[in-house]
Homo-oligomer: A and B are copies of this chain.
Amino acid sequence: MTAGVQRDAAGLDVMSNAKLHYSSNAAEPYNKEQAPGKMADVNEVTELNALLAMKGGEGDASYAKNSQTQAQGFRFVQPVLQAAIHRMDLPTRTGVVRIADLGCSSGPNSVNHMNIIVNTLRKRYASAAAAAAAAVAAQSAHPQQLPASGRKSAAVPEFDVYFADLPSNDFNSLLRHINRDYSRSSRDGTAAAAAANATGRVGSRVAGNGYFASCVAGSFYGRLFPRASVNVVFSSFSLHWLSKIPEAVQRQDSPAYNDGFVWIHGGKPAAAKAYAEQSRRDLVTFLRARAEEMVSGGLMFLLLKGRKDSDPTVQYDPDGVTMFGTQMEGVFNELISEGLLDASVRDSFNIPMYYPTVDEMREAIDESGSFLVDRLELLNDVPANPFTKQELEANPTDCGRKLAKICRSLLGVLVDTHMGVNVADQFFHRLELRAITRSRAESLRPRAAYSNVNLAVLIKK
């Protein structure tokens, strides 16, 4: 299949790649073949966690300032999330509903997602309370009916939201976003804030729409929460980041050694197979950890990059686009041919990312054994650009610069660590030139760039 891939058509697919789980230590991969149910080894996870994250802070190159594409991708599926919440069993067992965003990063997107989930749940509880009140009224008229106390309780619980990401994530920035959102919405006097105030239980930790918030530092490829404690798990554009680069891909004597490439798209079948196997293990590890943490009937909502072709060397469609992989390989090759970089720097660099097919997702879900599939599909037309077709046509240069900034906010820490900041500056300058060229080409296309995205709605058995 490799020959059929349009490697040079690559260009703009940067909508996702929001999170990074990566190990540079080939001799000590942190996520070895594991016995079923066994979590990753303690030491190794720590080394991984110390390494990388989206670019923190609020600066021009930060993830917080470069995550509009992810926000746009999410808006596309927001109604699906809300519908899933409307279908799920309303938790009534305890007075607390716990919600987790896994791979929240440091920007404003996560706060927005959690607000939507809490508000949707809150509306359901309000409806249930209204229905219960109506039932009481009906019972007064017809006393022979069941007493209201025999019905499902509709008391509104308190909401506890966990924002989780790797320890290297900038949690200080995230907390500022949480508190900013909180003070803005409470000052605006929104209905949600008013409702929260009305409970008389609003403390300083309660965000704008009335929930408790806390931050959790750790890899989602291990346990993050106490057993059977979480009702809703959400993860957006994170799970296509692998826990590590497969060892075989980094070993020079291995047939899967990925010399000449930095990713697997249009690359070596053996390397792509090793990536596919790593992705399967990571997905199963993720699902098994969540199975221990979630309550029965709990809802899991996953968004992650996906692909159509069963061949893992075809990570995106022939007319699909990406800034990663082929474009980055192009920059590596330029720098190598000009003598600015040794080929070994490229050969030892691998992007820890894999876009699974729906079938691969389903296999991992089946293997984990703890989730019912409510919905699982590949969305083929999720917008892949942070700007509109009109913006691209009006100013492709600005759009290209913006794309390069997005790339650096996602992969900058990894590239900086690999080749040093000085060479990395040169590297991203070249990538910017390519992004501008690609944006110009893109502005001439008949339709806007799109992206394939896996959507999974799972119910904990």
Chain A residues proximal to chain B, CB less than 8 Å: 37-40, 42-43, 45-50, 95-96, 157-160, 162, 164, 167, 170-172, 175-176, 178-179, 182-183, 186-187, 193, 196-197, 200-206, 212-219, 221-229, 289, 292
Write out the residue numbers on chain B whose beta carbons fall within 8 Å of the beta carbon of A47: 183
Q: A38-B200, A179-B167 are in contact. Are A158 and B227 (CB under 8 A)?
A: yes
**A179 and B227: CB pair below 8 A?**
no
Q: Which B residues touch A182, using CB under 8 A?
A: 42, 46
Per the bound structure, the CA–CA distance linking A193 and B41 in Å amounts to 12
Contact of A212 with B197 at beta-carbon distance under 8 Å, contacts A46-B182, A217-B178 already known: no
Nearest residue (CB) in B for A187 is B43
Dominant SS among interface residues on chain A = mixed
A456 to chain B, nearest CB (A): 21
Q: How far is the CA of A45 from the CA of B203 in the complex (A)?
A: 8
Closest to A179 in B: B167
Contact of A215 among B214, B219, B226, B289 (CB under 8 A): B214
Contact B217 A213 (CB under 8 A): yes
User: Distance in Å from the Cβ of A239 to the closest Cβ of chain B?
Assistant: 16
Residues on B with C-beta less than 8 A from A225 are 160, 205, 212
Contact residue among B39, B45, B167, B227 (Cβ-Cβ distance under 8 Å from A175): B167
A172 CB contacts on chain B under 8 angstroms: 170-172
Q: Which residues of B contact A221 (CB under 8 A)?
A: 204
Assess A179 versus B49: contact at CB under 8 Å? Given A39-B203, A172-B171, A201-B292. yes
Which of B193, B213, B227 contacts A201, CB < 8 Å? B227
Q: In whole Å, how far is A69's beta carbon from the nearest beta carbon of chain B?
A: 26
Interchain CB contact under 8 A, A201 and B39: yes
Is B216 a contact of A213 with CB atoms below 8 Å? yes
A203 touches B224 (CB 8 A): yes
Partner of A95, one of B157, B159, B214, B226: B226
Q: In the assembled complex, how far is the CB of residue A244 from the closest CB belonging to chain B, in whole angstroms?
A: 13
Residue of B with least CB distance to A201: B223
The 3 closest A-B pairs by CB, nearest first: A203-B223, A203-B222, A205-B218
Query: What is the bound-complex CA distance between A96 and B94, given in angstroms?
Result: 13
A363 to chain B, nearest CB (A): 23
Contact present for B40 and A175 (CB under 8 Å): no
Residues on B with C-beta less than 8 A from A176 are 167
Contact with A205, one of B196, B201, B223 (Cβ below 8 angstroms): B223
Within the complex, the shortest CB–CB distance from A58 to chain B, in Å, comes to 14
Inter-chain contact A215/B215, CB cutoff 8 Å: yes
In the bound complex, residues from chain B placing their C-beta under 8 Å from that of A223 are 201-206, 212
